[in-house]
Amino acid sequence: MTRNNGDVLRVRVVQAGTTRCGLAEGDYFDVVGPELRIPSGRPFCLQAMMAAIPLLTSRMENHSAEHWLERKPFVCCPDPYERVLLSMDRPGAAGEPS
């Protein structure tokens, strides 16, 4: 495993059930190196964000294609009523909007 210096990750809402926090499909935040960037004027649920944060360092590393985090880069918001599913992808990667 090696780290991609300067790597950018996008944590994006791919599914939003009944959200009390206002998240909607397509909402996202970016992680650029050690910085967290949220698009101007857009809120992001702290509970959903905290679910993804522990996995971001590992997701920024290069893993084999068989590694679970490469195959299933998803995390759920811990609030069971929200039904929010987040993806952790590299913008511009196959299938990921940039």
The per-residue pLDDT for 17 is: 82
Q: Is residue 98 part of a domain?
A: no
Is 94 domain-assigned?
A: no
Task: Tell me if 96 is assigned to some domain.
Answer: no
10 part of a folded domain: yes
Residue 72 domain-assigned?
yes
Which tops the pLDDT comparison, 21 or 5? 21
What band does 93 get if pLDDT is binned at 50, 70 and 90? low
Residue 62 lies in a domain: yes
- Write down how long the chain is: 98
Range of the domain at 72: 2-89
- In the three-class reduction of DSSP (H, G, I as helix; E, B as strand; rest coil), residue 89 is classed as strand
In a domain, 12, yes or no: yes
Q: Is the pLDDT of residue 46 over 60?
A: yes
Report which residue type is found at 40.
Answer: S
Q: 3-state DSSP call for residue 48?
A: helix
Output the pLDDT for position 28.
Answer: 94
**Mean of all residue pLDDT scores within the chain:** 82
- Cα 7 to Cα 32: distance, rounded to the nearest angstrom: 6
96 or 79, greater pLDDT: 79
Do 10 and 91 form a contact (C-beta atoms < 8 A)? Answer: yes
Residue 95 lies in a domain: no
Q: pTM of the predicted model, to two decimals?
A: 0.79
- Overall domain count for the chain: 1
Instruction: Please give the residue that has the higher pLDDT: either 62 or 75.
Output: 75
